[in-house]
Copies of this chain bind each other. A is one copy, B any other.
Amino acid sequence: MNNPSFRNWQSVQEEVLRRIHARVWKPGDLIPNEVDLALEFGCARTTVNRALRSLAESGLLDRRRKAGTRVAAQPVAKATLDITVIRMEVEGRGQKYGYQRIERREAVPPLAISGSMKTHATRSLLHVRALHMADDTPYAFEDRWINPEVVRDGLAESYETVSANEWLLKHAPYTHGEIAFSAISATSEEAKVLCCHQNSALFAIDRLTWDGASAVTKVRLLFGPGHQLRTNL
């Protein structure tokens, strides 16, 4: 009719976004079906589908077969955090990366660890603790348990120069995992390692990765006071 130039899915998406934002289609509203939109935009249905599917993935639209497509009543903001190797994270900030292994030993872990990793309570695992540094100041304290049954080559590594964080990502594949973020008070030991005061509020990332039914590794990363994890919406 008027603007015949919705010739790619990005422009269709933009127009849909514009309408949502301009309240032409309000939260909860049912929007026209794909066939009608394709007709209006002068493109193929597949193109409209591509645009809408992508918006649904980002949580802005709710789609159901037969029921149609509606604007999400509660736009669930999906914040995507990129969990990279710490070295990359530090270098990405333009800082010099440093690494120092603190401890490496085989030991029977506390029950909390063997329990969540579903390893036998008396089975000994590889325990590695290390400090990541940025511009020569402490950045993150890594405390990790590795399952040697799954990561067979892992026992041969010393983790003295290459962090377990980095080595595992490259050599130990995983199928899925869990990650949790929280705030904890620094113990005296943690405070000493991170050069901060005891009971400082530290940002913690706990991660547990699996290869099928077997735990690969469980790690806690403690970041120094003031650390922020940020992303865009």
Task: Contact check, A182 vs B77: say whether CB atoms are below 8 A apart.
Answer: no
What's the interface size class on A, roughly? 35 or more
**A189-233 interface bits toward B, Cβ cutoff 8 Å, 1 = contact, 0 = none:** 000000000011111100101000000000000010111111111
Which residue on chain B has the smallest CB distance to residue A225? B183
Decide if B230 touches A178 in the complex (CB within 8 Å).
yes
Nearest Cβ on chain B to A70's Cβ, whole angstroms: 14
Selected contact of A79 from candidates B81, B88, B175, B209, CB within 8 Å: B81
Known A-B contacts A83-B76, A88-B74; A181 and B199 likewise in contact (beta carbons under 8 Å): no
Tell whether A78 pairs with B78 under 8 Å between CB atoms, given A228-B181, A232-B176, A233-B176.
no
A37 CB to nearest B CB, Å: 21
- Bound Cα distance A21, B78 (Å): 27
Mark A residues whose CB is within 8 Å of B. 20-21, 23, 27, 59, 73-85, 88, 169-170, 173-185, 199-204, 207, 209, 223, 225-233
